[in-house]
Homo-oligomer: A and B are copies of this chain.
Amino acid sequence: MVVYAGQGDARRSMALLWRSGEPNEARPGPKPGLSVDAIVDAAIEVADSEGMAALSMRRVGERLGRTGMALYTYVPGKGELIDLMYDRALAELPAEYDLSGGWRSALTAWAEQTLAFYLRHPWTLQVSQARPVLGPNEFAMLESLVAILRGTGLGPRRVRGMVALLFDFVRGAATTVAESRQVPSATGVSDEEWWQARASLLDEVAPGFADRFPLVRWVESDDSEPGGDEPYLEHRVSETFSVGLAVLLDGIEAAAARAAQNGNGGQAAPPST
Is A26 an interface position by the 8 A CB rule? no
* A42 CB, min distance to chain B CBs, angstroms: 20
Which of B167, B218, B254 is A250 in contact with, Cβ under 8 Å?
B254
- Report B-chain residues with C-beta under 8 Å of the C-beta of A178: 130
The residue among A20, A147, A173, A216 with the most chain B CB atoms within 10 A of its own CB is A216
B146 & A244 in contact (Cβ 8 Å cutoff): no
A161 & B243 in contact (Cβ 8 Å cutoff): yes
A273 & B104 in contact (Cβ 8 Å cutoff): yes
Q: How many residues of A contact B (CB 8 A)?
A: 103
- Report B-chain residues with C-beta under 8 Å of the C-beta of A214: 143
* A222 CB, min distance to chain B CBs, angstroms: 8
Is A53 an interface position by the 8 A CB rule? yes
Q: CA A146 – CA B15 in complex, angstroms? A: 49
Is A176 an interface position by the 8 A CB rule? yes
Assembly stoichiometry (copies)? 2
Is A246 an interface position by the 8 A CB rule? yes
B146 & A219 in contact (Cβ 8 Å cutoff): yes
A246 & B273 in contact (Cβ 8 Å cutoff): yes
A53 & B239 in contact (Cβ 8 Å cutoff): no
Is A190 an interface position by the 8 A CB rule? no
Contact flags (1/0) for A162-199 with B, using CB distance below 8 Å? 11110111011101111110110011000000100110
Extra inter-chain contacts (20) besides given A14-B202, A168-B169, CB under 8 Å:
A2-B179, A10-B197, A18-B206, A21-B205, A129-B176, A129-B179, A130-B178, A130-B183, A130-B233, A134-B198, A139-B216, A150-B215, A156-B222, A160-B239, A160-B243, A161-B240, A164-B240, A168-B168, A169-B172, A171-B172
